[in-house]
A and B are shown apart, each in its own frame.
Chain A
Amino acid sequence: MPQLILLSVFVIATCGLVYELLAGTLASYLLGDSVLQFSTIIGTYLFAMGVGSWLSKFVVRGLLARFIQLQVLVGLLGGLSAPLLFLTFSHASAGAFRLLLYLVVFLVGMLVGLEIPLILRILKDRLEFRDLVSQVLALDYIGALLASVLFPMVLVPYLGLIRTACFFGLVNVGVALVFLHAMRSQLASRTWLGVQAGLAALALVGCFAASEHITRLSEEALYSDEIILTRDSPYQRMVLTRHRDDLRLYLNNNLQFSSQDEYRYHESLVQPALASAAHPRRVLILGGGDGLAAREVLRDPRVESITLVDLDPEMTRTFATHPLLTRLNEGSLTSPRVRVVNQDAFIWLEENPGVFDVILVDFPDPSNFSVGKLYTTTFYRRLRAHLAPDGACAIQCTSPMFARRSFWCIVQTLADVGFQVRPYHAYVPSFGEWGFCLATAREVPVPQARGERFLTPSTCAAMFEFPADLEPLPVEVNHLYNQALVRYYDAEWRAVIE
């Protein structure tokens, strides 16, 4: 019998440390600042263990039964800690989350702190005191070692946080069940204890099975619509949501399009350039891995070939295969006229000599120094070298309303490298007032393009008029060495958000 109890020491020590690591990992991921989170979690946990040890003196009768109940409780609380914290995090305020986090850590720590003193007392008559202390404590520490190795190398990568928690909860409950069985002769209220352990096990198994669902639930709370697809690539996280028949794509949490009004954006990006090029035969699209700009281009029978350069193969693959998405982009990415290249646009322009009649630039907004490079004089100079003399470029230029300086900075930068620039803007409800530039080598008249659903010749021409509140502001040119644009953009969108 002592062997069984000693074995259990080892097992519960492993469980105990896993809970502590779980809480630390969760806290540092959800709240950031891992050093601070880990130290405060470990501190709280150790302190709570001390409290638990002290409280153990108040447990006087029925030690074995109390120990079994303790296992059930630790298992339940520790096992449900991760799912519970997740859901709280996505549904409650940060303050509430923090409070719950430390409460859970304290309770689990306290319960774990009760374990060893109880075990020592259960075993005190069965073993020599010297052996007792040395064996119990040694096993306790070895268990801790096992946990600390398993946790980062096996548990987190293969099981994930939620399932790890549930699994170890089940292990604790398992210890309770084994004790219940092995020591049934010494226990009075066996059935009642058995029911408790069984219920706890049921809850944990349920939670384990539902772990995917719980993760998704947390995400949905943040996105508020139904999530129909998520994809991770080395470059970005793609999340597609649906609300009735509105399909929305988020890249790294930034809205990329809403199927309700994306045609306004894409017609505005594509049609003026197609109308301004003398012979739109060869088209280059940079970015635009969703295939929506390509869809607009393909409507023009004069276009012979489209080269689409997008960094992310996951993105173009998804938009070439997912039925909801191919319906939206009308299968543009698999059209025989379209060639998809997955490469960095800057590098691609550098390494490929081709000249194009129309170039469409559809990059994410210049929200950081990395993307900012794609809006600099160096980039635009390279772009020019790829544009046929009678061709036309169109560039998405963020919002002239929310980021007015940013918008005019892009205009200025294009002009600085020698483009003839015609800025224009369109209203896209899910984005707000949105800005573009038509850039050509030679001066061209204001285009009067017609689109499928949005543009008419006269409204197209009207996009090139700017009301007073969108008029130019004095700005610097955006160079690689100053990245003035990223600074404007940061200041302007921060002002919008705050």
Chain B
Amino acid sequence: MIGRREFLAGLGAGGALLAAAGCRRRSDFPGRLVGTAERRGHGLFAPPRKPPARRERVAVAILGSGVAGLSAAWKLGREGLEDFRVLELEDQAGGNCRFAEYPESRAPWAAHYLPVPTREARATLELLDDLGLVRGWTPSGDPIYDERHLCHAPDERLYQFGRWEEGLYPHLGATPDDLRQTRAFYAEVERWQARRDKSGRRAFAIPVDLSSPEARELDMISMSQYLTSQGWTSERLRWHIEYGCRDDYGTSLESTSAWAGLHYFASRSPDRAGPPGALFTWPEGNGWLLRTVMERIAPRLTTGALVYRIAEVGRGVEVDYLDLGRGEPVRLAADRVVCALPAFQRARLLEGSPGFREFTCCPWVVANLVLDRPPEPGHGFPLSWDNVIYDSRSLGYVVATHQDLKARTAGPTVLTWYRSFVEDPSQIRWGLLGRTWESFRDEILADLVPVHPDLPERIRRLDVMVLGHAMVRPVPGLVWGSERRRAALPQGRIHFAHSDLSGISLFEEAQYHGVRAAQEVLEAGGVSFDSSL
């Protein structure tokens, strides 16, 4: 009945009828391929031959301004060590926390949320407190978070059979056996969540390095093998679990280690402070978390700096970088270095470094769709923060203006669309880098228009970013293997940080390694400090 009345109500607004009249401004909106990382980074293949003439000096050089690099800077700054420099290849700092700034809204280029931190992620809680996100503390010492920044309801929905349902498990059409298997899987997850070893450690902790080795055997097999061995063959359950792997790791059930696959579910254990399942999100995604740190260190940050050589010489370290603005090589002499760059670059940059071949990364494609207003929500559950399409190769989209407090948000917005590539990365990376904007646009429209027929008329622009080496892949053997351990150990005066060193790419992991590396530097310098870990 309401539907009828609303129709009649809409009659006056003749313009609204345009949509249904089948008249569609086809995809004639502008957009571009953003992000030059790959092309710039490939400058590493042909570094300058002559030693740089321009020389600079600093106590600590931090290479890379992702979460790891900026967290090292944050910790050094908190302990009063100000004589450092951060070198960053891109023009914008932040690495995978970079974001776009449209007049309509900010929107993430990669990382977009942070789950309420686990008890072990102490540095993360310290950062949140530093940023003013903790409103107070409970009598038992747990933080009370500022709710404005927690993801508002409704947070997730899934599209299947022409309608949206709440959550990310495809309930519609599930058989009793599907549901039984799903319950059994979650019962196993809960068992792991509750488990502690003798010294009170969890089997699946964040940071990964604080996990007990109890479940390490699971790192030897793939998630697919593990599920099959438990008799969990339900397609829906496997889709649901694989979605988690594709979303957090960029891997399929076959390429994810069972340890990492379970970590996704079991690490976010319900006994941590804050509402269960709650997560922080902002229009610009996790870039929000770095903004304050970036402001603090702005004078010590050099962007457009491609580091191409790191070498320990005498009682210091030489860092050679290309000042991309001037096209000029520079040598930065430092007492110590925090190398917060991806592990795969190490062999090329660092003289005498082993290859670290076990670290592989997967490509991602991220698109920002600027809309004049949100698409029609469709049948079923209303527009949510995260909107996922069952059986799509994409990961769906998040809505940048979701946290808007206005009661009615019919205004412009940005949808951020994600796809991770689970295929063998060495096979597809170059192909992806050669693709045109048009081909991505067509792929994205083909993915979204069946779900939102009115989308093409809504789009003002569509920008695409290809992240060729987006994140480390937790393939079997990486997390509990010896190479990962070795990669985190300092080499002389060079300390290492980066989410790669955890084997899984998460904010807390990158931050943990950044803070750890900073603490190694402080310790070596004889500075006394309070550990944040």
Interface residues, chain A, CB within 8 Å of chain B? 21, 24-25, 28-30, 32, 34-35, 38, 89-90, 148, 151-153, 156-158, 160-161, 215, 218-219, 222, 230, 232, 234-235, 237, 239, 252-253, 311, 344-347, 350, 368-374, 376-378, 479-483, 486
Q: Is the CB of A21 within 8 A of B22?
A: yes
Which residue of the partner chain, among A160, A230, A479, contacts B14 with CB atoms under 8 Å?
A160
Q: Is the CB of B4 within 8 A of A30?
A: yes
Also in contact, A237 and B153, with CB within 8 A (given A21-B21, A25-B21, A344-B408): no
Q: Is the CB of B406 within 8 A of A347?
A: yes
A interface, over-half SS = helix
Q: Is B426 an interface residue (CB 8 A)?
A: no
Interface residues, chain B, CB within 8 Å of chain A? 2-15, 17-23, 147-148, 150-155, 275, 278, 382, 405-410, 453
Q: Is the CB of B6 within 8 A of A157?
A: no
Name the A residues within 8 Å of B155 (CB-CB): 481
Q: Is the CB of A346 within 8 A of B21?
A: no
For the complex with contacts A253-B6, A311-B408, 17 further pairs of A-B residues with Cβ separation under 8 Å are: A28-B20, A29-B7, A32-B3, A90-B4, A148-B23, A151-B21, A152-B17, A218-B8, A222-B4, A252-B6, A253-B5, A346-B406, A372-B153, A373-B407, A480-B150, A480-B152, A481-B153
- Tell me which of B19, B153, B154 has the highest count of chain A C-beta atoms within 10 A of its own C-beta: B153
Please report the C-alpha to C-alpha distance between residue A480 and residue B385 in the assembled complex, in whole angstroms: 13
Q: Is the CB of B14 within 8 A of A156?
A: yes
How many A-B residue pairs have C-beta atoms within 8 angstroms? Tell me: 123
Please report the C-alpha to C-alpha distance between residue A284 and residue B293 in the assembled complex, in whole angstroms: 39
Q: How far is the CB of B260 from chain A (nearest CB, A)?
A: 27
Q: How far is the CB of B278 from chain A (nearest CB, A)?
A: 5
Q: Is the CB of B150 within 8 A of A156?
A: no
Closest to A28 in B: B20
Q: How far is the CB of B146 from chain A (nearest CB, A)?
A: 9
Name the A residues within 8 Å of B5 (CB-CB): 222, 253
Name the B residues within 8 Å of A237 (CB-CB): 9
Q: Is the CB of A152 within 8 A of B8?
A: no
Q: Is the CB of B153 within 8 A of A483?
A: yes
Q: How far is the CB of B127 from chain A (nearest CB, A)?
A: 20
Which residue of the partner chain, among A32, A156, A161, A374, contacts B18 with CB atoms under 8 Å?
A156
Name the A residues within 8 Å of B405 (CB-CB): 344, 346-347, 350, 373, 378
Closest to B279 in A: A481
Please report the C-alpha to C-alpha distance between residue A54 and residue B12 in the assembled complex, in whole angstroms: 41
Which residue of the partner chain, among A160, A235, A371, A373, contacts B152 with CB atoms under 8 Å?
A373
Please report the C-alpha to C-alpha distance between residue A232 and residue B14 in the assembled complex, in whole angstroms: 12
Q: How far is the CB of A376 from chain B (nearest CB, A)?
A: 8
Q: Is the CB of B407 within 8 A of A230?
A: no
Q: Is the CB of A89 within 8 A of B13?
A: no
Q: Is the CB of A481 within 8 A of B7?
A: no
Q: How far is the CB of A12 from chain B (nearest CB, A)?
A: 21
Q: How far is the CB of A63 from chain B (nearest CB, A)?
A: 35
Name the A residues within 8 Å of B21 (CB-CB): 21, 24-25, 151-152, 156
Please report the C-alpha to C-alpha distance between residue A237 and residue B406 in the assembled complex, in whole angstroms: 19
Please report the C-alpha to C-alpha distance between residue A7 and residue B281 in the assembled complex, in whole angstroms: 62
Name the A residues within 8 Å of B18 (CB-CB): 152-153, 156-157
Q: Is the CB of B9 within 8 A of A232?
A: yes
Q: Is the CB of B407 within 8 A of A344?
A: yes
Also in contact, A30 and B7, with CB within 8 A (given A156-B17, A311-B408, A369-B153): yes
Which residue of the partner chain, among B2, B152, B408, B453, contacts A481 with CB atoms under 8 Å?
B152
Which residue of the partner chain, among A152, A235, A481, contacts B278 with CB atoms under 8 Å?
A481
